[in-house]
Structure 1
Amino acid sequence: MLADRVRQHLRTVAGSGAPIPYQALAEAMSLTPPNTIHRITVALEQLIEEDAVNQRPLIAALVVSKARGGLPAPGFFDCARRFGRLQGGDDTAAHASEVSMAAAYWRTD
């Protein structure tokens, strides 16, 4: 299942503490067109749901859009809010906090 492979890869990424772009994740998953980014976002939304339900930091926060200055796409915030996460008005601060928590929680040693 793609979501499981994405989580495993992001656990490795968490060790660096730096988010990666959607396209880099798609390439790491060896996805080919069409709809590569859509398949990544579907997997990330599944991970958001799993993490929110289990009260864990959102590993999906480690994936960002180059076009949004280091923030995830708006769908990340919409999905996180649907599951009661990232409440409040400052997306940049909320995301930075979530990245920090996710990197610490999910990194593999």
Structure 2
Amino acid sequence: MTSATALAPPLRELLATTPSSALPITYQQAANALGLSPPKTIQRIAQALEQLMREDAAAEKPFIATLVISRSGKGLPAAGFFELAAELGRFPSSSSQQEAFYYSEREQAIKEWCRC
């Protein structure tokens, strides 16, 4: 079992139980909430989010990964999120359209996943 595979279930649980008023959270907030310590905490969160995206795409569910954003990205996830979303056929590859798709997907994810 890889680190990303092991980290994905507790990360999903964290996101599902975080009050919607506190969402989205940053990669660092997710790492802190899960008690991760350096090195590579953000990378491990990103890899777990990619695992969750693959699971959600296979289940035809909204991406719970939309609930985690970059601290320095206009309130958006890191570029890897958009690259994988396009690769999975869920988002357009054109960056000019991705932001609108992201906000729509985030609203759907909150409705689908949040239990608070």
Which whole-Å deviations, capped at 9, do the CAs of 1:31-66 have from their partners, x for residues lacking one?
Answer: 000000000011000000000011000000100012
Conserved 8 A contact 2:83-2:93: no
Match of 2:112 in 1: 105
1:1-109 correspondence to structure 2 within 5 Å: 1-13=6-18, 15-16=20-21, 18-87=23-92, 89=94, 90-109=97-116
Whole-angstrom CA distance in 2 between matches of 1:67 and 1:81: 21
Q: CA 1:46/1:14 → structure 2, altered by over 3 Å: closer, same or farther?
A: farther
Percent of aligned pairs with the same residue? 44
Whole-angstrom CA distance in 1 between matches of 2:109 and 2:59: 13
Question: What letter is aligned with 1:106?
Answer: W
Conserved 8 A contact 2:53-2:64: yes
Structure 1 stretches lacking a partner, 5+ long: none
Structure 2 stretches lacking a partner, 5+ long: 1-5
Q: 1:91: Cα distance to partner?
A: 1.7
Q: 1:88: Cα distance to partner?
A: 5.4
Q: 1:82: Cα distance to partner?
A: 1.3
Count of residue pairs brought into register by the alignment = 109
Whole-angstrom CA distance in 2 between matches of 1:31 and 1:75: 21
User: TM-score, length-normalised on structure 1?
Assistant: 0.93
Question: What letter is aligned with 2:51?
Answer: Q
User: TM-score, length-normalised on structure 2?
Assistant: 0.88
Q: Give the stretch that moved more between structures: 15-24 or 68-77.
A: 15-24
Secondary structure, counterpart of 1:67 in structure 2 = coil
Whole-angstrom CA distance in 1 between matches of 2:13 and 2:46: 16
Conserved 8 A contact 1:22-1:37: yes
Conserved 8 A contact 1:14-1:102: no
